[in-house]
């Protein structure tokens, strides 16, 4: 019989090991490749702002997914080599040539890795396409949300597959080069015990996790607020305390078991506890990876959902569903034209209001940050919108008390002060024509989303006397018109809003063709100083410009378009976040399942010995069940606790306040934890059933 035939028979005996290795490779390549195909598609790349935090976060998540899947596959390959060692060692002991065995093993690995990687790459494209089609059903279909297969996504998937195959072949070469025959034969029986640890190790682990999160998330925010000093980038290394604390916590869960007040329970579980101690290092590492995967899964879904709700919160509580502001010298649609347009979509205009605002020069105090991450006060000078108190009362339908020489700051609903600018920032108001100045007295804030959207950093309210004083000798160049209205229920709101937006854009002229950061006074100051002004020039006023509503200084506001736009802009991020969550949960489930079967396979002889010593099936089931419960319960619980603490710190220390929607998000995260626990419980039941079959019970 030739060596090829002998190896072929051995392969048939070891089909389970090859299937396990192939499954790990296929899942990793499939998940990462389908993710890269979506991430590098033109729709996603155009939807994520260049250089923005969202794009950086998605790159970070892509890296986490790639590293997680790589580690998952390497774990599966280590199990393969561990089980393969017995066969390889026996063949060497019988006199087989090492080079011939090495060649056989090399081609086996190359065949399995190449075939499974190719299958993962081929199935990634249709899977990402199907997922994208599901996504398109959730948002208005536009050219921006069209699926596009880009060469960068394909190459990224191929690169990951190549890296994965290279690492597996490297591990195979390292396995082949081992020279000690007895080490090879007994590799499958090798234990990985650790030194005896102290009872307080678990408590220290919990303390390190909490302390690490506090240092990494709370301290930077507190130093900014208290000392106006940001922390350097290296401060993020404090997150490593959390990782070390998690390791100690899992190690304590695996190793520690004391008689305590329940010695009977201790002796009942002594076999299970001892078995876990014999593989303490490997089990602890495995549980830490599962806990981190659970953390990534819940946090990804939480971030994606919070990102969407955060994007749609701005303007959702606006008093008027539709509003716009435009230069006074520009002609826009009036009440009669709007009514005719609304009638085409089965509705009527109601609560229609028109108003005027003055564009006055303000001198206000803001903050900036230098290269040493130190915050310092800066005096800014630019144009801002001012309305009279009587006009605001008429538009809002409320009574406002404001005396001569005082002012109110108009903010968005739920406004919270931030480090960059405060509501009482206004120092001096200057007439842009006469140069006359005035120092008003701050009297608080008033929330009116529709007005503040057209002025940066805020819009302001003056008494009627002060307003008239500044209005005198002010040309139309420094005035803006405002319209506010609602549309009755039963109207095709999206159709009307889109038609109104297009009609509004069609009437816009060069007077309003400016980016949202443009300020005429800042431009005049820059030109007088002989400097270039970066926000000069016109923008593309095309209804099909996907960036127009976010980039245009005079973009009209509509709740229905805002929600649709926010969904379109953030759905890509939400989709990728959810996909990362699916990848992480799948990896955690498969890794836990594989580890469970490994425990059963490694201890099959022990279970047989226990039966010979008189143990019944009930006791053996208990031994298996106690081990698997720890393997599943502790990582899931730890991952959920760390995620909960991280999310709470993230939402609270961002502005030292918990908003209503943030509380809703935290409650939703609790639901995600329950869902994750339910999925992992289902995996546990399957692993327990299969482990019993392996143990013969």
Q: Is the pLDDT of residue 491 over 90?
A: no
Rounded CA-CA distance 622/617 in Å is 9
The least confident of 265-269, 417-421, 583-587 is: 265-269
The least confident of 203-212, 362-371, 464-473, 492-501 is: 362-371
User: b/e for 153-177, b at 16 or more Cβ within 10 A?
Assistant: bbebbeebbeebbeebeebbeebbe
Q: Which positions ≥6 away from 421 have C-beta within 8 Å?
A: 364, 365, 366, 367, 457
Confidence of residue 598 (pLDDT cuts 50, 70, 90): confident
- In 3D, which of 685, 649, 365, 361 has the Cα closest to residue 525? 361
Q: Is the pLDDT of residue 144 over 70?
A: no
Q: How many residues does the chain have?
A: 697
Rounded CA-CA distance 175/190 in Å is 15
pLDDT tens across 437-474, in order?
999 999 999 999 999 887 889 999 999 999 999 999 89
Confidence of residue 181 (pLDDT cuts 50, 70, 90): low
Query: What pLDDT, on the 0 to 100 scale, is given for residue 318?
Result: 86
The least confident of 36-50, 322-336, 619-633 is: 36-50
Rounded CA-CA distance 19/675 in Å is 29
Q: Which positions ≥6 away from 32 have C-beta within 8 Å?
A: 65, 66, 69, 157, 160, 583
127-141, 399-413, 577-591: which is most confident: 399-413
DSSP letters for 571-621: HHHHHHHHHHHHHHHHHHHHHHHHHHHHHHHHTHHHHHHHHHTT--HHHHH
Between helix 493-507 and helix 559-602 the angle, nearest 10°, is 120
Query: What pLDDT, on the 0 to 100 scale, is given for residue 135?
Result: 62
* Higher pLDDT, residue 140 or 550: 550
Whole-structure pTM value? 0.71
How many helices, marked H, and strands, marked E, lie in the chain? 24, 10
pLDDT tens across 214-253, in order?
998 888 888 877 777 777 778 878 888 988 888 888 888 7
Q: Is the dihedral of CA 313, 315, 321, 326 positive or negative?
A: negative
Tokens at 38, concatenated? 């979506």
């Amino acid at each position: 019989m030739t060596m090829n035939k002998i190896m072929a028979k051995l392969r048939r005996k070891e089909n389970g090991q090859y299937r396990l290795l192939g499954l790990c490779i296929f899942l990793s390549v499939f998940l990462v490749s389908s993710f890269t195909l979506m991430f590098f598609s033109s729709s996603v790349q155009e939807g994520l702002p260049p250089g923005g935090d969202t794009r950086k976060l998605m790159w970070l998540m892509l890296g986490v997914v790639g590293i997680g899947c790589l580690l998952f596959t390497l774990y599966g390959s280590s199990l393969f080599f561990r089980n393969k060692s017995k066969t390889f060692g026996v063949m060497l002991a019988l006199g087989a040539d090492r080079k011939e065995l090495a060649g056989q093993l090399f081609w086996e690995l190359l065949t399995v890795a190449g075939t499974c990687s190719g299958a993962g790459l081929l199935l990634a494209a249709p899977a990402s396409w199907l997922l994208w089609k599901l996504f398109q059903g959730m948002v208005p279909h536009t050219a921006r949300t069209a699926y596009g297969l880009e060469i960068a996504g394909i190459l990224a998937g191929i690169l990951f597959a190549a890296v994965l195959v290279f690492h597996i072949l490297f591990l195979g070469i390292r396995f082949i080069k081992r020279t000690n025959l007895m080490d090879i034969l007994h590799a499958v029986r090798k234990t990985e015990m650790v030194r005896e640890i102290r009872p307080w190790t678990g408590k220290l682990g919990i303390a390190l996790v909490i302390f690490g999160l506090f240092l990494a998330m709370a301290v930077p925010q507190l130093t900014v607020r208290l000392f106006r000093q940001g922390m350097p980038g290296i401060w993020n290394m404090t997150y490593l305390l959390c990782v070390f604390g998690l390791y100690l916590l899992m190690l304590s869960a695996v190793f520690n078991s004391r008689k305590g007040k329940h010695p009977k329970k201790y002796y009942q579980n002594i076999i299970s506890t001892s078995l876990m101690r014999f593989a303490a290092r490997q089990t602890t590492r495995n549980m830490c990876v599962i806990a981190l995967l659970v953390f990534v899964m819940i946090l990804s879904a939480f971030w994606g959902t919070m990102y969407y709700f955060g994007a749609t919160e701005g303007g959702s509580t606006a008093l008027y569903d539709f509003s716009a502001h435009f230069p006074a010298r520009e002609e826009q649609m009036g009440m009669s034209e709007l009514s005719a347009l609304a009638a085409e979509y089965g509705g009527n205009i109601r609560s229609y209001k028109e108003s005027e605002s003055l564009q006055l020069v303000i001198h206000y105090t803001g903050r900036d940050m230098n290269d040493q991450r130190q915050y310092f006060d800066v005096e800014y000078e630019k144009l801002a919108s001012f309305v009279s108190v009587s006009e605001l009362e008429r538009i809002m339908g409320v009574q406002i008390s404001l005396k001569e020489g005082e002012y109110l700051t108009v903010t968005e609903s739920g406004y919270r002060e931030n480090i960059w600018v405060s509501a009482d920032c206004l120092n001096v108001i200057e007439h842009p024509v006469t140069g006359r100045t005035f120092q008003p007295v701050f009297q608080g804030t008033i929330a009116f989303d529709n007005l503040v959207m057209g002025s940066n950093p805020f819009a302001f309210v003056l008494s009627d006397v002060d307003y008239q004083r500044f209005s005198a000798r002010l040309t139309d160049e420094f005035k803006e018109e405002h319209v506010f209205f609602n549309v009755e229920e039963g109207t095709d709101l999206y159709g009307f809003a889109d038609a109104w937006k297009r009609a509004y854009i069609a009437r816009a002229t060069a007077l309003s063709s400016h980016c949202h950061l443009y300020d005429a006074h800042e431009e005049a100051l820059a030109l007088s100083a002989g400097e270039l002004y970066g926000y000069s020039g016109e923008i593309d006023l095309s209804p099909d410009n996907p960036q127009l509503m976010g980039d245009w200084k005079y973009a009209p506001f509509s709740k229905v378009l805002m929600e649709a736009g926010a969904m379109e802009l953030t759905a890509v991020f939400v989709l990728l976040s959810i996909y990362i969550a699916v990848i992480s949960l799948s990896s955690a489930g498969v890794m836990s399942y594989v580890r469970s079967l490994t425990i059963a396979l490694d201890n099959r002889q022990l279970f047989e010995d226990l039966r010979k010593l008189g143990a019944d099936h009930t006791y053996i089931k208990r031994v298996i069940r106690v081990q698997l419960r720890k393997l599943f319960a502790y990582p899931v619980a730890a991952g959920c606790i760390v995620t909960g603490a991280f999310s709470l710190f993230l939402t609270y220390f961002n502005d030292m306040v918990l908003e209503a929607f943030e509380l809703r998000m935290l409650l939703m995260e609790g639901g995600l934890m329950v869902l994750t626990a339910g999925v992992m419980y289902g995996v546990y039941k399957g692993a327990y059933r299969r482990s019993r079959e392996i143990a013969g019970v």
